[in-house]
C-alpha cells in the first residue's frame, strides 16, 4: 500500500520533523524555549525530541550556549546545513574553551599554497604571549597548524610543496623531503602536530586537524606559546587538550563521533 499525502498522520513524528525544520530556518542555533514557543508545544516535549535526535546524531548541542543545531548524521545524509555553515562562528566557542584550558594563544588556520594562514585567533591570558594576527601567513612546513594540515592534505599538494623545496629556518626545521614525509606520518599516527622551534626557536606550538562530514580537512586548531612555557613535559597535556577540542569541533561539523577522542601520547613519542 502506497502512502498518500492525505493519509493518517503520526502526530509525534510530525512534531519531531517540525523541530528539525525549525533548526533549518536560517538561525544558526535554537534553544528549547523558543522552539517550544514557535511550534506551540511544551518545552518538555521539545526536550525529549531534541534529546532523542542528539543521541542519534541528527542534532548537536553547542556546549558553550546549550542551544541546538542540525547535527552530523543529518549533514552526512543530505548536507542540509552545508550552505549555511560558518566555520568561524561555529569554531569560536571551541577556540575560547581551548584558550581557557591552556591560557595560551589559540589559532584557527587554513592552508593556502605553502602557507598556513590564521583566520581566527583568541589571545592567551598570560601577560607575555606570542605575537600574531589574523591574516598572518606562516610557512606551513614548520608551524604546528601547517604541519597538521599538510599531514592530511592531497598528495598532489604535498608533492608540489616538496618539489619547490623547503626552507630551513632553524636547526630544527624538517627541510629534507624524506625527513618531512616521516614527520607527517608521525603526525598522522599521533593525531597532533608539534612545533618545537622549527620556524622561530623561541616559539612552540601544538595543533590538530579539523574535518568536515566528508572527511576533508578544513582547517587546523592550534595552541602556541613562548618556548619556556611549553617544555617537553607539557606537550602530552597540550596535545590531549588540542585533540579533544579539534575532535569535538569536527563532530560538530559532521564527522562521526570518535569513541576515544583523546589519545594519550608521551612526550618522548612527540619528540621522535
For the chain, residues classed under CATH 1.10.10.10 are 11-84
Q: Is the pLDDT of residue 24 over 90?
A: no
Is 226:234 a contact under the CB 8 Å cutoff? no
Average pLDDT of the residues of the chain:
84
What burial class does residue 93 get, using C-beta atoms within 10 Å of its C-beta: 0-12 exposed, 13-18 middle, 19+ buried? middle
How many CB atoms neighbour CB 77 within 10 A? 11
Rounded to whole angstroms, how far apart are CA atoms 88 and 134?
Answer: 12
Is 241:203 a contact under the CB 8 Å cutoff? no
Question: What is the percent of the chain with per-residue pLDDT over 70, rounded to a whole number?
Answer: 85
pLDDT of residue 270: 42
pLDDT of residue 5: 53
Task: Read off the pLDDT of each residue in 80-92 and give the average, rounded to a whole number.
Answer: 64
pLDDT tens digits, residue range 164-188? 899 999 999 999 999 999 999 999 9
Task: Say if domain 87-271 classifies as CATH 3.30.450.20.
Answer: no
Name which CATH class applies to 11-84.
mainly alpha
For the chain, residues classed under CATH 3.30.450.40 are 87-271
pTM equals 0.66
pLDDT tens digits, residue range 244-264? 999 999 988 877 665 443 444
Rounded to whole angstroms, how far apart are CA atoms 247 and 156?
Answer: 26
Is 161:154 a contact under the CB 8 Å cutoff? no
Q: How far is CA 260 from each of CA 25, 76, 111, rounded to the nearest angstrom?
A: 33, 21, 27
Most distant CA pair in the chain, distance: 74
- Residue 268 confidence class, pLDDT cut points 50, 70, 90: very low
Amino acid at each position: 500500500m502506497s502512502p498518500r499525502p492525505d493519509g493518517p498522520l503520526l502526530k509525534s513524528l510530525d512534531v519531531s520533523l517540525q523541530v528539525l525544520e525549525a533548526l533549518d530556518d536560517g538561525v544558526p542555533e535554537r534553544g528549547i524555549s523558543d522552539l517550544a514557543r514557535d511550534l506551540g508545544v511544551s518545552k518538555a516535549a521539545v526536550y525529549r525530541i531534541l534529546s532523542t535526535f542528539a543521541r542519534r546524531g541528527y542534532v548537536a548541542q553547542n556546549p558553550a550556549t546549550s542551544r541546538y543545531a542540525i547535527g552530523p548524521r543529518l549533514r552526512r545524509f543530505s548536507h542540509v546545513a552545508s550552505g549555511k555553515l560558518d566555520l568561524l562562528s561555529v569554531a569560536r566557542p571551541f577556540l575560547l574553551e581551548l584558550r581557557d584550558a591552556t591560557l595560551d594563544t589559540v589559532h584557527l588556520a587554513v592552508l593556502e599554497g605553502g602557507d598556513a594562514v590564521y583566520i581566527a585567533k583568541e589571545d592567551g591570558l598570560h601577560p607575555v604571549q606570542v605575537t600574531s594576527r589574523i591574516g598572518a601567513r606562516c610557512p606551513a612546513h614548520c608551524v604546528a597548524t601547517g604541519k597538521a594540515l599538510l599531514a592530511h592534505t592531497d598528495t598532489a599538494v604535498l608533492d608540489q610543496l616538496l618539489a619547490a623545496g623547503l626552507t630551513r629556518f632553524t636547526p630544527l626545521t624538517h627541510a629534507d623531503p624524506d625527513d618531512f614525509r616521516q614527520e607527517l606520518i608521525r603526525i598522522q599516527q599521533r593525531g597532533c602536530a608539534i612545533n618545537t622551534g622549527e620556524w622561530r626557536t623561541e616559539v612552540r606550538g601544538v595543533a590538530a586537524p579539523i574535518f568536515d562530514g566528508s572527511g576533508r580537512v578544513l582547517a587546523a586548531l592550534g595552541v602556541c606559546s613562548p618556548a619556556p612555557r611549553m617544555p617537553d613535559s607539557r606537550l602530552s597535556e597540550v596535545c590531549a587538550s588540542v585533540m579533544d577540542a579539534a575532535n569535538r569541533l569536527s563532530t560538530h561539523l559532521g564527522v562521526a563521533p570518535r569513541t576515544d577522542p583523546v589519545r594519550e601520547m608521551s612526550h618522548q613519542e612527540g619528540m621522535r
